[in-house]
Chains A and B, each alone.
Chain A
């Protein structure tokens, strides 16, 4: 369609919710009769949906590429009702023009970093699945390494390398293709910050891989679970999948496919508004085999670095 096509105005009015009955009827007529117009309309809607995802991103570190498809997979529709809670995700970028900043700034406040790590201690995570105590990495087989095969750590001199999708004592290895590491964070010291329902945590981590075959793809994902008590974690440890039914709230972002360039790190973010009775957070960082035909427990060269978990303020729940 040409930029001056008057029918573009119909699309604009409809997507903005401002179309009159007459304009709506005209739009419907064009959609019914003109395949080219229909295709363009669907592309315009697709862009609108994608921009809404961009709008949800918050606290993106300066200088890093936008990840436009980072909507939490179990985020807004599953995680929060009523919809007014969605106002929590207001963006504030690093370079907002003053007018936009003036709009957004009252809703934001200083973030408190709960946790930051880039494996500089050199200590490898425990290989015991979900962690049993706060402050230690645990998960599937992994190791802490320096620069490898063209992949340089995102920060510092070390990074984590995922090795396998299973851990010591994990039974039924067949069929596992997610390599996970977890960390448990005690947020009880911040209980007062959570009381009004206006607290959220923002998790960010960087992933990379050395070049892998064209026929293969890998997803990287991050997840945050809000847990009400240690007993919730106990139940989850007995049966790993039970973490879902024992979480007060959760969010998971598995929308970023790893590129084949070892020089670039891809950042994945997620944000979760915390229920006031949250006592612990379980964060999970994963890489998985994307296609059924490639699924296996081993990983050849997939890396994780520069995790950050911030406690941020959002507008209190109505």
Chain B
């Protein structure tokens, strides 16, 4: 059987309304949480791994009657602890932000959560504005498990050149979403 942590989680639920409640709160918080976790880590793969743990811990600690605010508060706290644990256990040789930056990044993500969500929603339209080869390059570079050095090799480019190209494309998308939302076009 495929290991599905969710199964174990669900089987602990005595009341079906609780899982709906948890899911709803988690879904509302998950994008902000992902941004927060990603902001503290070096790789997308690390973010996925940490988020898996965050979700499991949140479920174990879930209490009936939690509000959106109390859940989000706890979720950011758990995310912070899981990032620290991940860095401690899995990445002893890497750098880690200090407490102050952990705190202010959490505040920044929470304060801007609506704007960030709007930008994520607008991304599709901005992607459509890119020439097809650039859009496809982004999709390929961000596909799960893809390594930029290997992709560069396939494309007969240097990894650095590809990194720079992707960086320019990201800046272009950020500008597109910012302008589009400011004008109310997206």
Contact = CB atoms under 8 A, between A and B. Distances in A.
Given A24-B95, A28-B98, A38-B104, A76 B48 contact: yes
B118 to A, nearest CB: 10
Contacts of A57: 139
Given A39-B108, A67-B124, A68-B124, A31 B136 contact: no
Contact of A46 (B2, B54, B120, B167): B120
A154 to B, nearest CB: 19
A241 B16 contact: yes
Given A28-B97, A45-B35, A100-B154, 16 more contacts: A19-B95, A28-B98, A46-B119, A47-B174, A51-B173, A52-B144, A66-B124, A66-B127, A77-B48, A77-B52, A83-B48, A90-B143, A96-B140, A100-B136, A104-B140, A247-B7
Nearest to B98: A28
Interface in A280-307: none
Interface residues of A, number: 78
A263 interface: no
A150 interface: no
Contacts of B30: 73
Contacts of A86: 45, 48, 144-145
Given A31-B105, A68-B127, A95-B132, A88 B139 contact: no
- Scoring B43, B119, B145 by chain A CB atoms within 10 A of each residue's CB, the highest score goes to B145
Interface in B106-147: 108-109, 112, 116, 119-121, 123-124, 127-128, 132-133, 136-146
A198 interface: no
Contacts of A81: 3, 5, 52
Contacts of B163: 12, 16, 18
A37 to B, nearest CB: 11
B182 interface: no
A161 interface: no
**Of B10, B23, B132, which is in contact with the most chain A CB atoms at under 10 Å from its CB?**
B10
Contacts of B142: 51-52, 54-55
12 contacts: A16-B163, A38-B108, A42-B105, A43-B119, A48-B170, A51-B138, A51-B170, A73-B30, A77-B55, A86-B145, A87-B144, A244-B10
B39 A84 contact: no
Contact of B137 (A8, A14, A100): A100
A87 B143 CA distance: 8
Contacts of B151: 100, 103
A41 interface: yes
Given A87-B144, A239-B16, A32 B123 contact: no
Interface stretch (A131-139, A140-148, A204-212, A248-256): A248-256
B100 interface: yes
B156 interface: yes
B122 to A, nearest CB: 8
Interface of A: 3, 8, 12, 14-19, 21, 24-25, 28, 31-32, 38-39, 41-52, 54-57, 65-69, 73-74, 76-81, 83-84, 86-91, 93, 95-97, 99-100, 102-104, 197, 228, 239-241, 244-245, 247-250, 254, 273, 275, 277
Interface string B142-177: 111110101100111000000100010011011001
Nearest to A74: B6
A28 B99 CA distance: 11
Contacts of B144: 52, 55-56, 76, 86-90
B128 A65 contact: yes
A42 B133 contact: no
A57 B143 CA distance: 8
B66 interface: no
B44 interface: yes
Contacts of B155: 99-100, 103
A275 to B, nearest CB: 4
B74 interface: no
B5 to A, nearest CB: 6
Given A24-B95, A42-B105, A100-B137, A47 B124 contact: no
Contacts of B146: 55, 90, 103
A45 B170 CA distance: 10
A46 B1 contact: no
B1 A277 contact: yes
Closest 7 A/B residue pairs (Cβ): A55-B142, A87-B145, A241-B16, A275-B2, A77-B52, A86-B144, A68-B124
Contacts of A93: 136, 139
